[in-house]
Each structure stands twice: as C-alpha cells, then as structure tokens.
Structure 1
C-alpha cells in the first residue's frame, strides 16, 4: 500500500470505517503517522519490499489507545478503551501456501500467544489475511463458523478453523448470507477466493450486525476490504448512593428573632426546668432536635463553583 495512504483514508471516510487492519504495507519501521482525512496509521515492518502490517484508526480513537504491540512484520495488535470497554484489534498476514512450514508454525504460535495474553473479559477483533480457504458449509464446525464461505476448504483454511476452536473464536464472514460477489475477498484474473477474515470471540458475535466484502474500491489491486459493523455493548455502572450529612443552620441564632424563638422552644422541650437534667447526653439531644425544628437543616449538597465564560 506504499503511496496509498491518503486514498485509503478517503475510502475509510467515505465508507464510515473507524478501524481498519491492513497487510502487505511494505513500510519499514515501527511508527505511527497521520495519513489524512482524520486517520492515523500504526504500522510495523522489517523490510521495505515485503510483508508489513498495520492498524488504521480514526483520530478520535487515537487517545483511547492503551497499548501497541508489534510482534513481527506479520503480526501486531492495539488495545483500546472505548466507553469503558477494552477492545483488542489484531492485524495479521499469514504466510502464503508456498512458504516454509517453519514460518507458518511461527506465525500461528505468535498469534496463539497474542490471543492467550488477552484477558477473557476484553473484546477481540482479528483482521487477518490468512491465505487460506475455510470453504463453504460448516458441518462439524458449527460452533466456530457459519455456512457462507467460498468454495472448498484447503489445509491453510483448516488451520484457521482449528485456531478458532482453540481460542473460542468465530469466523465472522461466514455467518452472513451474501451474494458470492460480497464474499470473495481476493480476485485476480480467473481466481476468486476468500482468504481475508474477521474473527471475534464467540460470546461477542451478537454485537456484530453485518459483515461483507466491499466492491468497487481500487485501493488494493487484488484484495478487497471486508467490513463488519460492531456495536460494543457498554455496561453502565450504577452510581452508589452517598449518605450526605444534613447540618443544622446554627448561624441563624445571630438573628434576634430566631434566637428568642429557639430559647422558648428549648425551655418548653426541657419542661420549663430551671436546672438542667443530670444526663448531659439527653440534654444535648434535646438541644439538637430543637435546633433542627426551629432553625432548619441544610440540604447537604456542596455549592458548585460556577465559571463564567466570556
């Protein structure tokens, strides 16, 4: 995607996409910079001519980033806090079919480690070019995928399904019935396949209302963008009730009429006794109760400091 930053940002703005996982960035380094239109790219790459992964965020979410984890030039993750909900976004680029087995095993091992390190109470959204086909249908795999894949499953696709089972994830693309044109993520010549997938925790699948491939965009030459609509369910914390002490308005005794009324009521409460009772606690309570009745009590609320803006 070298030189395509602004084009990518414009597409995200047009399609109303807030977070995007990108692969094959082919940018060397581990940085974050603005790509225009109010979007910022976090990326990691070792070589300038191959691999590289990244996550693009809408600028308003940048301040919500808690952690950026750059694992390799094939895998990275971002941890965000949105309205009290922790969301982990994982971007990955799995080795192609012809790559060495050792490289494939390293990728899957690193991905396992990333997911296992995330607390179970946090959300996870995985956007990866898995270079594998999970296939159409879900017989025997109903717990992790729907029926709406593309064509036949291959070995790399089986690795995706096995990963989903290990980590209790769901392959989101396959749960939404779409025309094949909106399921094919890779198109080159006569080849039409599905290799790019979005995964989430099975328990959070209900938060996703739609998932489909966007057609008609030219940012990526062969791959097409997969978009899902996720609504985070925020649990509002109940405010704890705070007992506020109400205070007697003793300052009113400065007024002669209030002071005189207080004397009369107190004398009546004490039974017009000239000598006070021996029990001081009883006398003190009579004084306090009389004060509350005659002078009144405050609401207990603090007076707010008001600032006038000119």
Structure 2
C-alpha cells in the first residue's frame, strides 16, 4: 500500500521559522505539520461550477450545502442569472453576480459570508466571464479574489485569449497585496512539464492544448497553480466527471502569485448540488487577524415592530413581570424613572428577539433525507448510476414543492393576521446593494467606502441651508438673547391624556430617540 505524505511549498525568503525556539506550529489536514506558517487571519476560499443558481430552489440548496462546511468566499461559475447585481440574501450573505443580458447562459458570481462582508471594499465586473472583489483586512493588508469561467473546448482559441486578457486586466486594476484567481478554466494542466516552477509535481492526467495555453499564461503572469503543489490520491484531485462517469479531469484551479499564503487545497466530495463538478477549496493564512464585523456594525438591535405584534401576549407577560419587580421610589427623579422604563423595555424586547432568531427551515425532513442519501451515493462512487439520477431528480422536485408550500403557508398566516401581502414580499425579497456610483464630476467609483462618501456629500449639499450666513448669525444672536432662566420654576403636571395623544401622533415603526424602541399605535385614549 502506498503512503502519501504532504508536500509543502518551499519556505519563502524572509520568513522566519516560528517553530524554532517559539514552539509555534500549524497543522494541515492529515496531521502533517508545516513549521513556517505564521499565526494570523485564516480564510477559506472556494470555487464551484454550480450549473445554475437561477431560481430560488437552487440558491437555497446551495446555501444548505454551505452550512455544512467552513467557507468565507465562494466563487461560482455558471450562475445562469441575467444582468449584474449585488444583493444581500435573507441569510445575511452577499450574492454578487454578472451574467448576460440577452440569455441565461454562463455567468459568474460570488457568495460572500456575512462574517466578512464588512471587509468588502470593491466589487467589480470585467465581463460575464471575469469578476473580482477586494477585501480590506486591515490598514496595511488587502486581498483580491478573481472568479472566472473559461469557454469550453467547443469555442475558438480567440475567446480563450480574450479571457486571459480580461484576467490580466483584473490583475492590474485596484492592485492589492495578495491575489487569488479561482474558477473553472476548462483546461487540463496535467503533470509538470519542462520543470516549470509555476506548476507543481502533483497534477492529474496529461496536459491538453488548452492546458498548454494556461501554462503559458502562468509563465507570463508569474502565477502558481496551487492544486498541483499538494500531493493527493487520484480520486481526491478530479473536479469534473463526464455524464457516463468514465472521464474525470481536473479543470477547476486556484492560481496565485503569493503561494506562501495557501496552506491547503482540497476537493470536497461530500459537497454536491447535482452538478457534474466538485467544489475546490483552499485555506489561506495572512499575517494578521481579521477585523471583525463589530468594528463596522452597530451593536444595537434593530427591532422589527411586527415581531412584537406577532408575540404581543408573550411580550406583555415578560414586561409585566419585569415592571412588577421594580417599585418606583418616592425619591426617584423623572429622568431616573424614564431610564428605568427604557431599560426594561429594551431588555424585554431583546430577549424576545433573541428567542426568535432560529433560522427558518424551508426544506422538510423528507427532502433533507433525500439530499443526505444523494451525498452517500456520491461517497460510494455511484454518481453515474440510475439510482443517483432518479434521486437527484426527486430531490430537486421535492425542494421546489417545499419552497412553494412554505410560501403558501406564510401567505395564509398573514391573511389570518389581517396583514397585507407586502409583508410577504418584504420578507422574501433579497436586499439589493449598490456596487457603483457616479459622483458630481461624472467619475464612476466602485469602492464601497468611496460610495458612502459620495452619497454623504450629495445629501449634505442637498439639505444644506441656502440662507445668507449673516442673516443666520443675526437670527441665532436674537434667539440667544430671548433665552430665559426657568430652572427655578416648578414643572406643570402632565396628564395621562397628553401622553396618549403624544404617542398616537408618532409615526408607525419609527423610533422616538436613541432608545431604539419602535412605536405602534396600540394605546387607546381613555
């Protein structure tokens, strides 16, 4: 029996071995140690030819499979979605894609995990075959990930040359410290030829004509094809299988000029959404820790008023229990009473929302069992059997029925609650995000931070006062002269009817201030 031992890339110049004297080591899959890996930020970046995420069922199935693995960025080939768009899914992940305008063939996209979405800086499309994103890890380190989908062997070589020119364009634009090019290259690079330093010793099969064109491109751009630098068993290398299951090739790759950051490249056999491709994932380590989303996002909860309304009996009971425990002191000031009430309202609301954060399951148990059975057939190398084909067809049919049943049940619930269908549309609509904007000088920017600056500048100018400055200063001066000292006067009594009237004058769903308490007109005048 042959034994397979991990083969690490050579230690880059300038790197110190943290294992010497420091005791720091890092471990790759299989138990082997790589002594020169520095501790820092880890990212799991994957690429997958999904063979379509054009409808809700396929997109939901893809997210269901992703929940089972570690991932941060997923590059997708053959999205089969028209146009260009960036949307935030109900799960919180960002889907960014580019497809053709006239048909649903081809297309590329990214699915960015919500954990790292605050680090997104630029989302850029070159064509319906090449797109890229850049992430700002910290003030010094940025990384660019390029997703591509190469033409198949039925296309002319000129189209391949155009693709490589577009990849070169993506490399020269918005330069970053680290770069990764991933996707379906539709080329067999095979085993190492002519001792090329950019192709490792562990490729699969023999190189074809398109593989030669890819090898020349690697030499030109000084890119390492990382799949070939890690020794794997043959059944752990192939990424595409023919319909008859006889031919299996390695055509999905990870390229980078910074090969020292790539710590592992794996082909995941258990991940499958019915495609004839397998997911390829790499683990990279950067010399810093990832800035977490809490540095960018507010720590406050955004409370949905509909959540309170749907659970008003539970909310009323919890709030009553809290308020009855606290007794109003005779020495308590008005501000102290207000702060206490606000605190109790916020804590009660937060506890209610926290208990409702369970993810909505659209697939039934039966459908999940079919998907699990499909994974078992793949593990048993029965991908090309009649049983697998029938099971895959049944699973997709059941998934479509489950989503339709979920939507029907939700609509029925809303009707019983006397609420409109706009609530259902809002719940199921993916939030679109702006990916480019034209500033006042006519220049188009794609940097997300620059987009915010342009937007801020526009609205600042839009609502800026046009009144003469001298007139404003005079008005402010007169206003100051009219201020009276009322600190010694007693506050008048506030009637209950006045409070009810004031609350009912507030707009629905709007917060009264920084207490983030949303108002509903549920108080009736007595």
Normalised by the length of structure 1, the TM-score is: 0.70
Corresponding residue for residue 144 of structure 1: 198
CA distance in 2, matches of 1:45, 1:157: 25
State yes or no: 1:161 paired with 2:215. yes
RMSD between superposed Cα atoms in Å: 1.9
User: How far off its partner does 1:6 sit?
Assistant: 2.0
Corresponding residue for residue 190 of structure 2: 135
Corresponding residue for residue 129 of structure 2: 74
Corresponding residue for residue 57 of structure 1: 112
Question: Secondary structure of the equivalent of 1:60?
Answer: coil
Q: CA distance change for structure 1 residues 187 and 96 in 2, over 3 Å: closer, same or farther? A: same
Corresponding residue for residue 242 of structure 1: none
Please say if residues 149 and 184 of structure 2, whose CA atoms lie closer than 8 Å, have aligned partners that are also in contact: yes
Q: 2:145 aligns with which of 89, 99, 112?
A: 89
Normalised by the length of structure 2, the TM-score is: 0.42
Corresponding residue for residue 194 of structure 1: 250
Please say if residues 24 and 50 of structure 1, whose CA atoms lie closer than 8 Å, have aligned partners that are also in contact: yes
Question: Secondary structure of the equivalent of 2:115?
Answer: helix
User: How far off its partner does 1:118 sit?
Assistant: 4.6
Question: Secondary structure of the equivalent of 1:162?
Answer: helix
Aligned residues: 232
Question: Secondary structure of the equivalent of 2:191?
Answer: coil
CA distance in 2, matches of 1:21, 1:130: 13
Q: Which structure dedicates a bigger proportion of its chain to helix?
A: 2
State yes or no: 1:106 paired with 2:172. no
User: How far off its partner does 1:7 sit?
Assistant: 2.0
Structure whose CA Rg is larger: 1
User: How far off its partner does 1:37 sit?
Assistant: 4.0
CA distance in 1, matches of 2:116, 2:269: 26
Q: 1:13 aligns with which of 51, 62, 67?
A: 67
Q: Please, which runs of 5 or more residues in structure 2 have no aligned partner?
A: 1-51, 291-526
Please say if residues 65 and 272 of structure 2, whose CA atoms lie closer than 8 Å, have aligned partners that are also in contact: no
User: How far off its partner does 1:100 sit?
Assistant: 2.1
State yes or no: 1:214 paired with 2:268. yes
Q: 1:43 aligns with which of 83, 97, 115?
A: 97
Deviation beyond 3 Å, 4+ runs, structure 1: 34-38
Corresponding residue for residue 228 of structure 1: 282
Partner deviation per Cα, 1:109-162 (whole Å, 9 max, x = no partner): 11112113353x521111121100000234421x11211111100111112211
CA distance in 2, matches of 1:157, 1:36: 40
Please say if residues 13 and 37 of structure 1, whose CA atoms lie closer than 8 Å, have aligned partners that are also in contact: no
Please say if residues 138 and 146 of structure 1, whose CA atoms lie closer than 8 Å, have aligned partners that are also in contact: no
